[in-house]
Structure 1
Amino acid sequence: MVDRFERFSLLLFEILRYWHKLTAEEMKKYGLKGAHSIYLLTMLRYPEGISAPQLCEYCGKDKADVSRMMALLEEKGLVKKEGIHQNLYKGVFKLTEEGKKAALFVSKRASLAVDLASKDLSEEKRIVLYEALEQIVTNLRKLNKEGLPE
């Protein structure tokens, strides 16, 4: 019998593996990788613009990743930088019109994927699932800050 940790880990890794494959396939349309989808979706929620430190926090990425991703998205014409251009961490990034189209496309495709992936779950089970996952993330975040107790 598979123990709880192994089952938990395997299920999460399998969900992530399939999710990353789906996002990678969808992002090919824009010449991007699946990892860019989280940036587009996050930026879509902030039409007034979002700073690099906020992107780090909201996307769970480090400064180097944000820097690389924003540079590529700017190069593709999906994002523009407003504010002080000499310093990545001043000013904000905004989606261009093409970027908004791409982000809306990604959002619709992600919603479809989530709907199809959870189609056999009742609304009540979905609510419980998301609440449980949020609590697990909260607990793991705390454990990572404080370490495992002895």
Structure 2
Amino acid sequence: MDTRFFRLTTSVGRLQKLIQKIKTEGMGHMDLKGSHTVVLCLLAACPEGLHFAELTERCELDPALISRVLASLTRAGYVNKDGAPGKYNALYTLTPEGLQCADRVNTVIAAFRQKADEDISPEELETFYSVLDRMTANLEGALQEKTTLFAPLQKEN
């Protein structure tokens, strides 16, 4: 058994579940969903606004999900949509209420990030994120390569 692979997949899986739980529970206190987190934070970081395509690219989420999140945040009064109704080239910006909400979200994120980083030096964190980025890129590259690794197993007679 490849213990490194097992450790990586279980650790990343547990980490993803914890992050999702933090987002879901935290946003629930504001009557929002976990999927709203990244959109609010990105729009707060770009006061000039973002177009739909820019949001989907930066969030790395399904366009249909981004569409639902934007519609929900617009109905809640947190996001302005400037442009023709239903057009994907509209510009999305935060309202003053949206900015306040994003500030609250960023405060919670900073507190959890500080807790996660406890007893880890800045150098260790830099190394961790550098290695994580490279591993991700390596695995993305491996999936793009034409390989026989995923070829069906040959049954023995």
**Shift, 1:29, TM fit:** 2.5
Alignment of 1:36-75 (within 5 A): 36-75=36-75
Match of 2:116 in 1: 117
**Percent identical:** 30
**TM superposition outliers: structure 1 runs of 4+ over 2 Å:** 140-150
Q: d(CA) in 2 for partners of 1:143 and 1:2?
A: 18
Match of 1:79 in 2: 79
Q: C-alpha offsets along residues 42-79 of structure 1, whole Å, 9 cap, x if unaligned?
A: 11111111011111100001221111110111111111
Distance change (3 Å), C-alpha of 1:148 and 1:71: farther
**Shift, 1:149, TM fit:** 6.2
RMSD, matched Cα? 1.7
Which stretches in structure 2 are left out of the alignment for 5+ residues?
A: 150-157
Secondary structure of the corresponding residue to residue 121 of structure 1:
coil
Query: Under a length normalisation based on structure 2, what TM-score does the superposition of the two structures give?
Result: 0.87
Higher gyration radius (CA): 2
Letter of the 1:137 counterpart = T
Which stretches in structure 1 are left out of the alignment for 5+ residues?
A: none
**Shift, 1:147, TM fit:** 5.4
Q: d(CA) in 1 for partners of 2:38 and 2:79?
A: 14
Distance change (3 Å), C-alpha of 1:17 and 1:46: same
Q: d(CA) in 2 for partners of 1:147 and 1:104?
A: 45
More off after superposition, 116-125 vs 138-147: 138-147
Q: d(CA) in 1 for partners of 2:44 and 2:144?
A: 30
Alignment of 1:1-150 (within 5 A): 3-87=3-87, 89-146=88-145, 150=149
Q: d(CA) in 2 for partners of 1:43 and 1:5?
A: 36
Q: d(CA) in 2 for partners of 1:23 and 1:148?
A: 37
